[in-house]
Amino acid sequence: MTKKIKVFSFFSGSGFLDLGFENSGFKIAFVNEVYAPFMAAYRYSREVFNKPEPEYGYSQENIVNFTADRKTYLQDVIANARQTSDLIGFIGGPPCPDFSVGGKNRGKAGDKGKLSGAYIELVRQQQPDFFVFENVKGLWSTKKHRQFYEEMKNNLYEGGYLMTEKLINAIAYKVPQDRERIILIGFKFYLLTNKGFDKFSGPTIPEGIFPWKKHISYREKEVFSYPWPTTNPFRENSEIDFPNNIPEELTVEYWFRKNEVENHPNARHYFQPRAGKIKMQTVAEGDDSKKSYKRLHRWRYSPTACYGNNEVHLHPYKVRRLSAAEALAIQSLPREFALPENMTLSNMFKTIGNGVPYLAAKGIAESILDFWLEVIGDR
């Protein structure tokens, strides 16, 4: 990588998105996460990986406060960072329940929905060279929310950005999970206009220029056309031979073995079955047809890792829910990634479900780097 790129991270959670960027060559310079348990987990994971402290530290400030006055601490920090870097980027995935079909669905008026608007306003105010915005499919695909999404894009265009967007599925990046998310990436006019881009033709970078496809390993249509197993009768600790003609690296069991989940620090972190234990034994392996009590199939990918609102995901061949170690594997985290022992189970599963799958984050980061090197080049 020829450029020094410093990243300011917002809504950082426990750092899945950041880790993907950092392991692709970006430098995490500033971390903002308002919820203390997630921030503690973020810091813990950096210690596990022996990563250096962010140059400008950690902040638990509400992002709305950053937008209230442009003359803020954050503005001073960014000005300082520009002296020792070639490019400044913002990355973040604002909380999404207000845009999720399965969530609160309150849209831009909801408490969480307002945070998306605040993030976009922060980008407009602080003018990073590029930004990444990640959110649920519903923001992009639902008519009542799409208008707000387009308003945000127009605000960014007026603020000096050309953008590219894509509805990605994490499974395309070798994540063992069917998880769709909208990704919006923007670049400052000055980076692009001297490379032949016309800022007056609209807010969108022409189709086919940004290398969205370069770092994906599977096309969705191909992935879902494989002869995936459907269901098998549940038997505790049973064995099922690996079926032919499917990609093993996209299966739950492959990742359980890859991450050695039984020996992982979070292996025993799972909700103990109580009244629902008998019900757990009646759900077939691979039956994920209902909202709750979805049992994963060992030789298939997982449905979206979402463990809130009573959405229970069951282990393929054990009478229990998934452990945190297993959920981290489904999010494609490296084997070494772990959450603190003293974190509550609720917070563990919330932060795992909220996070951007590591391999998808890495693929997005590498696509941005390729865009710099192959399209923009030296300024």
Neighbouring residues of 301: CB distance < 8 A, sequence distance ≥ 6: 171, 176, 177, 178, 228, 250, 251, 252
**Taking a C-beta distance cutoff of 8 angstroms, is the pair 244, 203 a contact?**
no
Give the phi and the psi of residue 148 in degrees, each rounded to 5.
-65, -40
- DSSP symbols for 115-160: HHHHHHHHHHHH--SEEEEEEEHHHHHSHHHHHHHHHHHHHHHHTT
Amino acid identity of residue 133, one-letter, is: F
Q: In whole angstroms, what is the distance from residue 280 CA to residue 303 CA?
A: 18
3-state class (DSSP) for residue 319: coil
Neighbouring residues of 344: CB distance < 8 A, sequence distance ≥ 6: 37
Only one residue has tokens 């691979």, namely 286
**Taking a C-beta distance cutoff of 8 angstroms, is the pair 238, 300 a contact?**
no
Neighbouring residues of 228: CB distance < 8 A, sequence distance ≥ 6: 246, 297, 299, 300, 301
Q: Which of 7, 34, 91, 96 is catalytic?
A: 96
**Taking a C-beta distance cutoff of 8 angstroms, is the pair 108, 117 a contact?**
yes
Q: In whole angstroms, what is the distance from residue 131 CA to residue 184 CA?
A: 8
Q: Is 96 a catalytic residue?
A: yes
Q: Which of 51, 49, 18, 48 is nearest to 33 (CA)?
A: 18
- Residues identified as active-site: 96
